[in-house]
Amino acid sequence: MKNQPSEVCVIMPVYNGAKTIELAIKSLLCQTYTQWNCVIVNDGSKDNTKQLLDAINDKRFKIIHLEKNRGRGFARQVALENATGDFLTYLDADDFYHPEKIEYQVEILEKLKDVFLVSCAQGSFDSNNKLLTIRGFKFSGIYDFKFGNAVKFIPVTSMIRLDKALKIKYNNNLNASEDVDYFSRYLDNNKFYIINKILYYYAEFESVSYSKAIEYDYNNIKAIFFVKAKLGFKQFFKSITVAMVKSLALIILYPSF
């Protein structure tokens, strides 16, 4: 029987995150669950992110600086390769945690041994601290997942089992939607759990740009092509059709809003 508390590794890729990363780090330091370590990968930032990270005086943090920007998929893979512990979770540099986020997720993963991923709801706020949206409340409870299924959970809010996570690699060719691609392969033929609580917050100080939205759709289509052999023709055709229709709708409708 395990006597020591489970160790959680938090990975955080960052590119030009000087304006928001301090809030992200403070939310981690305020966690009720204290048995954690954090790997931060500075993906070639051009602002003063490096100086802020080098000023951290806490042995729980491991800071890795990349000389040039390599993209989110590459940065997440570097962080994953440097992760240690029992569970793995995520914190983007422009986001922050509810104080009990890690505690809730660890409790479920320790209790439900056949669950391989635990996610939660996500709240989005603007610069006036006004709640804009809540995502992740539509589904809650335990679900089975098969490769090719729609991802019902919010990837960045998730906590997973590190030993299994290390067997899967991020696609370095994806600079967006890399997390959806990764979790679809990690979770194949396994169960996941969605907590019906807002434990993760996205500080939406600036609205998502049109170009960024297009980039995510483009990378989603790329990800489907990368795994088309595994999907089979029928599932591939369905997935690519849905993705392209959504992308086309975005291109046509986004400017109107």
Whether 224 shows a pLDDT value over 80: the answer reads: no
Mean pLDDT of 38-42: 98
Q: What's CA 99's distance to the chain center, in Å?
A: 18
Reported as a pLDDT band with limits 50, 70 and 90, residue 126 is confident
- The pLDDT value given to residue 48: 96
What is the structure's pLDDT at 207? 42
Residue 5 has pLDDT above 70, yes or no: yes
pLDDT value, residue 76: 94
Give the amino acid at 173: N
In the predicted model, what is the mean pLDDT of residues 49-64? 97
Triad 230, 235, 238: Cα angle to 5°: 140
Whether the Cβ atoms of residue 48 and residue 19 lie closer than 8 Å to each other: no
Confidence of residue 17 (pLDDT cuts 50, 70, 90): very high
Over range 34-43, report the average pLDDT: 98
Angle at the Cα of 156 (from 97 to 166), degrees rounded to 5?
A: 115
The whole-chain average pLDDT of the chain stands at 85
The pTM of the full predicted model, rounded to 2 decimals, is 0.79
Res. 200 pLDDT band, cuts 50 70 90 = very high
